[in-house]
């Protein structure tokens, strides 16, 4: 597991993870940045998936082309909106990380980069989200004997400081 501070759209990894919403039709934050940098091919594929299965549930993930990004694929996962913590938010956040890793395994990917899912517009407390992210990834990799290089990409200083301390 690696930690960097920066823009996930610049990374040359097998898959970058997008903190998408259930519509898969794009949004602000990292989602907007990925669609802007990756071009229209990503949204086209999201729309095809949406037509087939009606979007993506919270805690689930889907995979598409990465369009013009240096990555090979985008894995779109949907984290929970923080609503005080009594609505299964922690389990759903862990599930978003696990679903993304499961797709990476299924597609035999060897590197994946995660943004700090749910800690922007969805307001999940950053320190708790970071613990869930790191622990869930660690557990998944060891339980599946998976050799996937996982990079946590922090865009803001606060998340970077929290992850640095944690890792
Ligand atoms: P959510 O709706 O899941 O909260 P956001 O996109 O609002 O998703 O925020 C998730 C995290 O992504 C935030 O910590 C935000 O700082 C970060 N972020 C925003 N743009 C980028 C980017 N280009 N690369 C990596 N992380 C980003």
What is the predicted pLDDT for the residue at 62? Answer: 98
Active site residues: 31
Q: List the chain pLDDT tens, one digit each, 167 residues.
A: 999 999 999 999 999 999 999 999 999 999 999 999 999 999 999 999 999 999 999 999 999 999 999 999 999 999 999 999 999 999 999 999 999 999 999 999 999 999 999 999 999 999 999 999 999 999 999 999 999 999 999 999 999 999 999 99
Tell how far the Cα of 123 is from the centroid of ligand 1, in angstroms.
11
Coil, helix or strand at residue 18: strand
Task: Label residues 79-108 b or e (16+ Cβ within 10 Å = b).
Answer: bbebeeeeeebbebbbbbbbbbbbbbeeee
What is the predicted pLDDT for the residue at 134? Answer: 98
- Is the C-beta atom of 121 inside 6 A of ligand 1? yes
Distance CA 136, CA 112 (A): 14
Which regions of the chain does DSSP assign to beta strands (E)? 2-5, 15-20, 61-65, 73-78, 111-114, 149-154
What DSSP letter does each residue of 128-167 carry, written as one string? HHHHHHHHHHHHHHHHTT---EEEEEE-SHHHHHHHHHH-
**46, 10 contact by CB (below 8 A):** no
What is the predicted pLDDT for the residue at 65? Answer: 98
Residue closest via CA to ligand 1's atom 21 equals 30
Ramachandran area for residue 160 (φ above 0: left; ψ -120 to 50: alpha; else beta):
alpha
Of 138, 151, 163, 136, nearest to 14 by C-alpha is: 151
Tokens 């501070």 sit on residue: 5
Tell how far the Cα of 120 is from the centroid of ligand 1, in angstroms.
5
Distance CA 118, CA 107 (A): 25
Tell me the ipTM for this assembly.
0.98
- From the candidate CATH numbers 3.40.50.720, 1.20.20.10, 3.40.220.10, 3.40.50.10420, the one assigned to the domain spanning 2-166: 3.40.220.10
- Is the C-beta atom of 18 inside 6 A of ligand 1? no
Coil, helix or strand at residue 76: strand
Query: What is the total residue count of the chain?
Result: 167
Query: pTM, whole model, 2 decimals?
Result: 0.98
What is the predicted pLDDT for the residue at 110? Answer: 98
């Amino acid at each position: 597991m690696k930690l960097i501070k920066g823009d996930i759209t610049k990374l040359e990894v097998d898959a970058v993870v997008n903190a998408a919403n259930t519509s898969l039709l794009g949004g602000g934050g990292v989602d907007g940045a990925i669609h802007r940098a990756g071009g229209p091919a990503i949204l086209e594929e999201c729309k095809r998936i949406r037509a087939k299965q009606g979007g993506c549930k919270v805690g689930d993930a889907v995979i598409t082309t990465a369009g013009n990004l240096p990555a090979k694929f985008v894995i779109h996962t949907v984290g929970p909106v923080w609503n005080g913590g009594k609505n299964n938010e922690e389990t759903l956040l862990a599930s978003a990380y696990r679903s993304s890793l499961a797709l990476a395994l299924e597609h035999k990917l060897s590197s994946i980069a995660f943004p700090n899912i749910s800690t922007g517009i969805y307001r999940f407390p950053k320190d708790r989200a970071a613990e869930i992210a790191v622990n869930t990834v660690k557990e998944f990799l060891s339980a599946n004997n998976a050799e996937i290089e996982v990079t946590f990409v922090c865009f803001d200083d606060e998340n970077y400081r929290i992850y640095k301390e944690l890792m």
